Amino acid sequence: MSSLPQSAPLPHTISISDEIDEMTGDPNFMSSLARGIAVLRAFSNQHRTLTISQISHKTGISRAAVRRCLYTLKMLGYADAEGNNFRLTPKALTLGYSYLSSTPLATSAQPCLNQISRQFNESCSLAVLDSNEVLYVCRSATSRIMSVALNVGSRLPAYCTSLGRVILAYMPEAALEQYFKNVTLRAFTDNTVVSQNGLMDIFAGIRESGYAVVEEELEVGLRSIAVPVRGASGNITAALNISAQATRVSSKRMREDFLTTLQSGAIELSAMLP
């Protein structure tokens, strides 16, 4: 099984620093807070410890500003350092927990995902779209099926995951155009679709069938199927999926055995949304 690239660039055509600078004309916009959040987000499962230089390179924020952000985060207890290497502390979890504990879908979905996972003995996840990525808000895992660990709070590219595609497929045309302007399409495997026209054709098929199947596009050996989760207004607010080893579960079985249960789960979760 191949692993995801460990030095994947952020999926933006401009740096985070440039995006912040574009907003500095707004008198109500706090650039210092935005830089602090960008520094926090620079850390990931693949980058658990980072130097000031690495964060500066990753975000486009000056070394001096990164240093001040890290100093503040350290003084507040959200970061710690050993030599020149900085890392987040467990206190940083309280930031994400504030969202999870206040979101009805995230707090109520776990029993539903656990039931689906037990039924098929496969991993089941719930995610929302955040910027250009899918953000995992709930997960029931039976085993580790990817080279990187997926947990609540994990992020993956939207365009090459079943969770992301089933949300993107139903986005308004203007929002989808903006998505393609902001995202960098790159191949993770030989199967990854990286053309906008190819993805648009796939999205059309998803809208027709009501589900998305991704065949080893994010990682070799990984296959998944996802369905949309709608709110009371009918808008797609999240996606529910089952992922499995391609050698163990065929795409035919996903469509014939998994799909109906996933759709029932999506209806159950929809009832929890406003």
Residues 149 and 248 in one domain: yes
Digit-coded pLDDT (tens) for 156-177: 999 999 999 999 999 999 999 9
Taking the C-alpha atoms of residue 117 and residue 115, their distance in angstroms, rounded to an integer, is 5
Same domain, 61 and 159: no
Domain count, the chain: 2
| Residues 219 and 134 placed together within one structural domain of the fold | yes
165 in a structural domain:
yes
If asked whether residues 78 and 175 sit together in one domain, one would say no
Give the pTM. 0.74
Same-domain check for residues 253 and 182:
yes
- The pLDDT tens digits for 28-61 are 889 889 999 999 989 987 788 999 999 999 999 9
| CA–CA dist 117, 120 (Å, integer) | 6
For residue 7, being part of any structural domain is answered with: no
According to DSSP, the residues that pair with 82 across neighbouring strands are: 85
Determine the Cα–Cα distance for residues 52 and 38; give it in Å rounded to an integer: 13
Domain boundary among 50, 71, 91: 91
